[in-house]
């Protein structure tokens, strides 16, 4: 039996984690998502290389993946809550 503390997360922190957000291809979508995530990372900085972008076949929707060094479940919960509260975000994974 392990001596580690029980946890409610299967993810071991810190770790690299890709946060996906989906929304309409609106010029405000990408900055809104990046600004939300920035608020929760060290130095409020996200490198351009950490942001992946993919448009839907018809160009009406966009998927962003923002890769961060996740520090805790609480940090991730806060990011996902804010993304879910953002009207431009249709889905956050």
CATH code of 83's domain: 3.30.70.260
User: What is the sign of the dihedral through the CA atoms of 23, 33, 37 and 75?
Assistant: negative
- Whole-structure pTM value: 0.86
Q: Is residue 11 part of a domain?
A: no
- Convert the pLDDT of each residue in 6-40 to its tens digit: 456 788 999 999 999 999 999 999 999 999 999 99
Q: Nearest CA to 35 among 87, 90, 79, 81? A: 79
For residues 73-89, average pLDDT:
97
- Report residue 89 CA to chain centroid gap: 11
pLDDT of residue 91: 97
Collapsing DSSP to helix, strand or coil, 58 comes out as coil
Q: Could you tell me the residue range of the domain that residue 80 belongs to?
A: 17-92
pLDDT of residue 2: 42
Could you give the number of structural domains in the chain?
A: 1
Q: Is residue 67 part of a domain?
A: yes
């Amino acid at each position: 039996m392990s001596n580690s503390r029980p946890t409610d997360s299967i993810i071991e922190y810190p770790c690299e984690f890709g946060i996906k957000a989906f929304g309409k291809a609106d010029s405000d979508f990408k900055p809104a998502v990046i600004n939300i995530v920035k608020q929760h990372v060290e130095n409020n900085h996200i490198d351009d290389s950490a942001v992946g972008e993919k448009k839907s076949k018809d160009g009406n929707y966009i998927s962003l993946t923002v890769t961060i060094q996740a520090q805790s479940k609480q940090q991730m919960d806060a990011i996902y809550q804010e993304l879910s509260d953002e009207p431009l975000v249709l889905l956050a994974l």
